Amino acid sequence: MTEATAPNSLLTFSQGLAKAVERVSPGVVAIDARPRVATSGIVWRDGVIVSTNHTVRRNEEITVSLGDGRQLPASLVGRDASTDLAVHAVIKGIATCR
């Protein structure tokens, strides 16, 4: 890569990254599992959120915050400590990654 092509390559990379973020951001959520810590998750399917297992417990009050500002109650419906995945149920009608 020469000095002349470096800025162009960086611009191309930056534009590609911006497109990727725009595409997946509707499917990224914040999860508040009280009284413990906040974490993040992704919309796997309509009404189903996947997060890390080690950050939530079954008896906690779980709230999912969507990118559009809505906050939805969620319930922990499954977990697997060996893969560190937890599955949460929320109301249907939330965006997934396109």
CATH number of 27-89: 2.40.10.10
pLDDT tens by residue, 47-69: 899 999 988 877 788 999 988 88
pLDDT for 32-41, tens place per residue? 887 777 888 9
DSSP string over 15-76? HHHHHHHHHHGGGEEEEEEETS-EEEEEEEETTEEEEEGGG--TTSEEEEE-TTS-EEEEEE
Cis peptide before 35 (omega within 30 of 0): yes
pLDDT of 97 > 70? The answer is no
pLDDT per position as a tens digit, 67-78: 888 899 999 999
pTM > 0.75: yes or no: no
Domain residues of the chain, as ranges? 27-89
